Structure 1
Amino acid sequence: MNERLPEDLRTLVKAYADELVAMRRDIHAHPELGWAEIRTTRIVRERLEAAGLQPRILPGGTGLTCDIGPDGEVTGRILALRADLDALPIPDEKNVPYRSTVPGVAHACGHDVHTVVVLGAGLVLADLAREGRLNRTVRLIFQPAEEIMPGGALDVIRAGELKGVERILALHCDPKVEAGRVALRTGPITAACDRVLIRLAGPGGHTARPHLTADLVYALSKLVTELPAALSRRVDPRAGLSLVWGRIGAGSAANAIPQVGEIEGTLRCLDLAAWHQAPELVEELVQTVARIYGVQAEVQYDRGVPPVVNDADSTALFRAAATAAFGPQAVIGTEQSLGGEDFAWYLESVPGALARLGVRGPGEVGVRDLHQGTFDVDESAIPVGVSLLAAAALLAFD
């Protein structure tokens, strides 16, 4: 253990390891969707209160924050540690004792791990604070609705919970990285992610006479293929802009051209400037295609999240913490992902960084990707995450 960290940090973390694994399994078995994380919020609140802390429930009724400081006071420079509570509307396909008991809902992105890791770091730091060994305030943030764009981070910010915060850190499970390792990147580490819904309308008619009406399904199919293609020629390829459809619907009879149809998908972008230009460009291209085929088009473009851009100093803090706690071999680099993360909203107000926590088991064949019903983690990653965040809190602002 690095001399700047308490010699007993590993022992303090180990004391909570079994409890945190059990809590993670309980949360995993009882997942809750965004802004409905009532049970999860209660479990975290009760555990923090049992540790003598005073958590604050967010105004919406789900999610909470909690300050840990010297002598129980909020003093000095505040470091925030953020977790997300919500699950996904995906069936749990694993055959494990802690499989989801809620039909069609699962923790398929690791938020159950994020929750217990930040909780565990808070419990360790509270122990140190009681012994007079914490010289700064740490704010725990357990936010709702990360999976619902534009994300529950905005609720936390509106509630004033970034007031006084000078730096914010978060972890995200990464099934491509082995448990025991932490993947870091300075600069953009995720992408912007927006939702695009396009509705077409026309007079409808008989499929025998498409020339006398507007062939709405054909126009819809042209948008499905031509809009992503046109964007790839109108935007700098280095921006990494990608439009992928997830839903298409129109009509109910084989011999009738429908009057309405919809396509829906996500637009992701690695570059902040291109992200700001995307809504206007999508509108222009959609209307161009619609005019060619004589249909009316309505574009609903919902801003999701900007890219997470890791601050250099915060990334260096993560690196120092991981090296101090586990040695330099525990730190690896990582690429920018096209995934979206509402942690980006915090970074528009304060500097910070998102690190990737390895959760892949030793010798595991294949990768159980995020947002799949088979996703699971090597639970040895939990004390690793706790140690990393606790170490970062102790080394912050030195």
Structure 2
Amino acid sequence: MPGARADFPAGLCEELIAFRRDLHAHPELGNQEVRTTGAIKARLEEAGLRPRVLKGGTGLVCDIGEWDGGRPMLALRADIDALPIPDTKVTTPYRSTVPGRAHACGHDVHTTVVLGTGLVLADLQRRGLLPRPVRLVFQPAEEVLPGGAADAVRDGVLENVGRILAVHCDPKVDAGRIGLRHGPITSACDSLKISLDGPGGHTARPHLTTDLVTAVAKVATEVPALVGRRVDTRAGLAITWGRIESGHATNVIPQHAELAGTVRCLDQRTWETAPDAVYAAIDEVAALYGAKTQITYVRGVPPVVNEASAADLLRDAMTARHGAESVESTEQSLGGEDFSWYLQHVPGAMARLGVRTPGDRLSRDLHQGDFDVDESAIAVGVELFTAAALLDAAGEREG
């Protein structure tokens, strides 16, 4: 495949690993990524590029080459924020230095991959070997529903872009491999908070009160099942609770209870109507116990739906560098990803980037405090994106 290969500048792999470790040690939450943004900006400027910080003050967009008004550009997207959970790794020298904050979803890897790709492509551009400009998007606040992608789109990151690509770390896939599929690869995800109120009282006289502990327990157990029977089961709608709170004493029926969780859905059409079904089920169950409800339903993200030719571009790029056996089929995940907002405007695709050390069967799942990666995946991601950019520029995978 012509144009599908570009070698790394000397020392780049080591530099990228050091850059990722620095990000990992200094995680920042969504819309607070000031240090992270500064580090990315400084390295891009050192490479002779002109990044622009997004209007919110964090995140950047950076073009390699100038668009000539012809065929739209390819964009490569990374998310740069961390999670509000503690890093539980004990002996890792680059573990988080910020209490209660961790890069437990691999965004430090995503960021480093796109940065590294930008440095390789910038080197090709200087040598006159980049046939077509490429845009880098470093997006803040992916972990904050409904996600920073929508803000980035409003800030113009998709102007003159015809296709966008991304990767997401997958601890179930070996480093040196990627997972791909046509169609939906993630699910829709919303957040849900329910407040229940009523007159409390003595536990000796529950018949004279609104028994909120029982009411919130019934809502927690019965609403997911009730909603599940009112939508097409093929849509894979799932309500899962992450927090439940009520009461302070063993012999007092409380006046207030709270329940919070997520609503996830495999199918976009069902996701669009899900709030109505959820509201109706909550009110129905709570009314049986005389509880007054206040529901906060925050729309999150639709599913990421990989466009076929964009997914094939990633497949061809990975095959060009690592062979056909390096690409495996992946299932649709119930996880949410705001990369989906970009795909409401332009076609694109996301690949699962393998980060598990081959032969390692320890469970280091996403969103857990001990999450870490095989850092050889960084070079694989850079090779994937670089090859994809060159194949796309050569017109070998038209949308």
Does residue 342 of the first structure (1) align with residue 341 of the second (2)?
no
Contact persistence 1:68–1:74 (CA under 8 A): no
Work out the CA distance in 2 between the residues paired with 1:266 and 1:251.
Answer: 23
**1:212 positional shift:** 1.4
SS at match of 2:229: helix
Q: Residue 317 of structure 2 aligns with which residue? A: 321
Q: Residue 88 of structure 1 aligns with which residue? A: 83
Work out the CA distance in 2 between the residues paired with 1:75 and 1:40.
Answer: 33
Contact persistence 1:82–1:142 (CA under 8 A): yes
Work out the CA distance in 2 between the residues paired with 1:309 and 1:103.
Answer: 35
Total equivalences in the alignment: 393
Query: Which residues in structure 2 correspond to 1:123-134 (within 5 Å)?
Result: 123-134=119-130
Q: Residue 379 of structure 1 aligns with which residue? A: 375
TM-score, normalised by the number of residues in structure 2: 0.96
Q: Provide Cα deviations, 1:291-329, integer angstroms capped at 9, x if missing partner.
A: 111111111110011100000010010011111111111
Does residue 222 of the first structure (1) align with residue 210 of the second (2)?
no
Q: Residue 165 of structure 1 aligns with which residue? A: 161
Contact persistence 2:4–2:388 (CA under 8 A): no
TM-score, normalised by the number of residues in structure 1: 0.96
**1:14 positional shift:** 6.0
Where does the alignment leave 5 or more consecutive residues of structure 2 unmatched?
Answer: none
Query: Which residues in structure 2 correspond to 1:49-198 (within 5 Å)?
Result: 49-69=45-65, 76-94=71-89, 95-198=91-194
Contact persistence 1:74–1:137 (CA under 8 A): no
Q: Residue 303 of structure 2 aligns with which residue? A: 307
SS at match of 1:52: coil
Where does the alignment leave 5 or more consecutive residues of structure 1 unmatched?
Answer: none
Task: Give the share of equivalent positions with the same residue, in percent.
Answer: 62
Contact persistence 1:77–1:136 (CA under 8 A): no
Query: Which residues in structure 2 correspond to 1:241-252 (within 5 Å)?
Result: 241-252=237-248
Work out the CA distance in 2 between the residues paired with 1:320 and 1:164.
Answer: 24
SS at match of 2:98: coil
Work out the CA distance in 1 between the residues paired with 2:16 and 2:371.
Answer: 19
**1:57 positional shift:** 0.2
Work out the CA distance in 1 between the residues paired with 2:164 and 2:178.
Answer: 17
SS at match of 2:222: helix
Letter in 1 for 2:239: L
Aligned-residue Cα RMSD (Å) equals: 1.3
Q: Residue 4 of structure 1 aligns with which residue? A: 3
**1:75 positional shift:** 5.9
SS at match of 2:8: helix
Work out the CA distance in 1 between the residues paired with 2:278 and 2:13.
Answer: 49
SS at match of 1:12: coil
Contact persistence 2:2–2:391 (CA under 8 A): no
Q: Aligned match of 1:255 in 246, 251, 269?
A: 251
Letter in 2 for 1:78: M
Letter in 2 for 1:81: L
